[in-house]
Amino acid sequence: MSGVSERPLAAESRGEAPGRGRLRERRILIVGGGQDERDDPDPPMGNGRAMSILFAREGADIAIADRRVEAIKKTIDHIAADNLAREGSAFSVVADVGQPDDIRQMVVKAREGLGGLDGLVYNVGIGGGMGLEGSTPEIWDRVFAVNLRGAMLTLQAAMPVLADGSSIVLISSIASMKPGSRMPSYDASKAALGGLMRHAGIEGERRGIRVNIIAPGLMDTSIGREATRGRPNRAKTPVPLGRQGTGWETAYAALFLISDEAAYITGQTIAVDGGMTGLR
């Protein structure tokens, strides 16, 4: 993409590094831990599924929430097949974050099933409406209901029951920082997560609850591949590190922020984008 010679991916980038116990005894809800494979016959690992597998591998007990039970089941099957993960480290919670009642029940079920909560990831995002001309009120409201209102309601339900010292990670996009998706509703809703993060961070500060954002760039996921099919020049976007990212690379950034290794980090946005926002 940028003239950088192709290099072999690190074990972490491939999802093949062993667990190191970085989340031992943690109880984490991952919202959007299934995967929309978009009918891809050989789908790459998505962000939510990678986080679920990695967190279990690192010793956490996790509740995987998604609106599609079959997507959750596939993630749990991956965890069971991962010989680096502990047995019984994941269970499913079916919820549609576009429905406020589902969100409240999701948090209750996760807390009850895990015996408490000290970590939360909101990994949900939809788009629609190309350009201002293609953006209708209905599309705008649906995208904001899922991408932003759903995040707010999840935080509203979770903050009172999260343990002191917990960590929250919201998954945004570099579309919140620079133009790229060409979908105003997506770009605007992902940008607005920054304001929500900062407010939640202020509410959580006295209890040591940290809130941060990860903004992935061009990632080789099923959704990313579908976007490229619709806009082929996406694949030619110059990335300083010379390639698209993997779902595992998003997952490792989330692992850092969820873990105590990031105990002094809150209110921050980390771009996992191969240098696109910082160098281009």
Residues with catalytic annotation? Answer: 186
Distances (CA, A) of 275 to 159, 213, 218, 240, 244: 33, 17, 11, 6, 11
d(CA 162, CA 239): 38
In sequence order, the β-bridge partners of residue 120 are 29, 168
Helix axes 137-144, 184-204, angle to 10 degrees: 30
Q: Where are the alpha helices (DSSP H) in the chain?
A: 11-14, 47-57, 69-81, 100-114, 137-144, 150-158, 184-204, 222-230, 247-258, 276-279
Task: Please name the residue that has the structure tokens 């979908």.
Answer: 183
Sheet of 210-216: strand order equals: 90-94, 61-66, 27-31, 117-122, 162-171, 210-216, 269-272
d(CA 197, CA 170): 8
**Cβ(110)–Cβ(18) below 8 Å:** no
